[in-house]
Structure 1
């Protein structure tokens, strides 16, 4: 069992994860994922370099099928439980999740675990690049399969997931005039939110859901420069401090909405391109102690794929 017991932090530093590394109750997962137009291949990179003992979590595989063919949708309880068993994870395991960007797709994986009630779960702040920058060990090659675990299908907290109909109904409400309206924050870059830049998925319109607010996921992140072994430089991201996250939230929502969200008076929903980087906004809000935060699972890809969806552009 983890040294943190049932009170596992949402975010751990490389040194904290290194201290846990020899704990037999800790399972480490690489949940790296890249945009559809990226030439990078996460599974291949996993074989080339990973944290010792890590397993590869493919969020597109551990997912439920969708009528529109959308990827990495929240899995059903049986799919989630089977994946955990294959990773050697039990309900008492402390699951530590990382990605190779730093902080990008790991929060989405953490959202999945926490939504199924697996609160012994955390992300590695800064991911694999931060792990290496702190001199922690890595390995490569094929990994040995873990001993299969036992994981009964858990219950999904459906209150944290939003569907299309809920988003459309909420978009018909004006948050400024109706306290029942949820605040929707959009994690995509501002150009895509405003409709001036194209979506990375061909044929999909850019723009935004009526009454939603732009809050690019990078607002909650800090970027660091690291020198690679070949002499070149690269960058990676970490989650900002609580003060930095609060500052970013305030800049997007304004003081009144920020106060309502932090006090729990009004709930908030994170959306993005496909439900991946919305996890960064979810994580940032959770670190501020916000309980009433949900995630639009389909996000913009599902919303804009439906021809009747109202889309706003502010060109």
Structure 2
């Protein structure tokens, strides 16, 4: 694939750019590595063994709302600001997020920062795998950051609630109505495959379209804009209509939001609860099939 997205989008930075800015006081490097339980990988442990110099580790499951049984839901602004202060991520810094897969959980943390009002945040194109493949420096061991002040203000335009999704589903078939795009695999979307989390029904939100997140990624990198446009067009996406993204637990939905941001649609809400919430609610309708 080409590197077209490296220089054309403010939401992606290249490994060359990051290498030139290692140690810069105004740049915060955030390792957002997170893995599904089935992967048998520990992002925090892997961070200690090897990370980009100057990076801090963002634990998606720890920096979350612990008052709910839903996985890694956004915390409240006070809790988030406190967590970022401890990580040394402060106001006025450019935030660069990466993960150890290439492009997976980094998009979720990119969206999280934006949901708390930060705009100067980008994903490292190719992530840690590309950095390592290029023979760039690595650090190891625990990190003790210098605390910095962080101001967090929720941007509700980027966050979809279950009530927002209920309304979007009801209006999806209307002319000019909202579009719901689901990033899960096709078998999960259709309801042909059991959900990985126990207790969830199988299927999707009525009116949703399916665009598996892997269709936007090649070799751990977001595809070039022309290929992103084709992928969204293939599922009937209309840039003139409202759109919201969803998935299993709000992680891969953020990849769709990142792809849309690269295409110029930079205020796409993500359904934070996603199927982990909708699928467990017997009062909410579900659809099955293509």
TM-score of the superposed pair, with normalisation by structure 1: 0.86
Q: How far apart, CA to CA, are the structure 1 residues paired with 2:128 and 2:25?
A: 21
Q: CA deviation at 1:21?
A: 0.7
Q: 1:292: how far off? A: 4.7
- Runs of at least 5 residues in structure 2 that lack an aligned partner in the other structure: 1-8
Q: Does structure 1 conserve the Cα–Cα contact (< 8 Å) formed by 2:87 and 2:147?
A: yes
Residue 298 of structure 1 corresponds to which residue in structure 2?
273
Q: Could you tell me how far apart the structure 2 residues matched to 1:292 and 1:82 are?
A: 25
Matches of 2:114 and 2:53 in 1, distance apart?
24
Question: Deviation of residue 66 (structure 1)?
Answer: 4.6
1:218-258 Cα deviation digits (max 9, x unpaired) = 111112xxxxxxxxxxxxx10111111001011111xxx43
1:227 counterpart residue number: none
| Other-structure match for 1:178 | 175
- Indicate yes or no: 2:154 matched with 1:156: yes
How do residues 187-202 of structure 1 correspond to structure 2 at under 5 angstroms?
Answer: 187-202=183-198
Contact 2:248 2:274 in 1 (8 A): yes
Query: TM-score, length-normalised on structure 2?
Result: 0.93
Matched, 1:168 2:166: yes
Tell me the matched-pair count.
283
1:240 counterpart = 2:223: yes
Residue 5 of structure 2 is matched in structure 1 by none
- 4+ residue segments displaced more than 4 Å: none
Asked if 1 retains the 8 angstrom alpha-carbon contact of 2:126 and 2:221, the reply is: yes
Does 1:107 pair with 2:107?
yes
Aligned to 1:252: 235
Q: Deviations over 1:164-185 (max 9, x none)?
A: 122112212243x332x21000
1:142-195 deviations in Å (ceiling 9; x for gaps): 22x11111123x2211011111122112212243x332x210000000000001
RMSD in angstroms over aligned alpha carbons?
1.6
User: What is the distance in 2 between the residues matched to 1:23 and 1:53?
Assistant: 9
Contact 1:266 1:292 in 2 (8 A): no
Bigger Rg over Cα: 1
Counterpart in 2 of 1:80?
80
Give, in angstroms, the shift of residue 84 of structure 1. Answer: 1.5
Specify the SS of the correspondent of 1:107: helix
Residue number in structure 2 paired with 1:62? 63
Structure 1 distance, partners of 2:258, 2:210, is 17
| Partner SS, residue 61 of structure 1 | coil
Which residue of 2 is the match for residue 204 of structure 1?
200
CA contact (8 A) 1:204 1:304 kept: yes
- What is the distance in 2 between the residues matched to 1:282 and 1:92? 23
- Report deviation, 1:93: 1.1
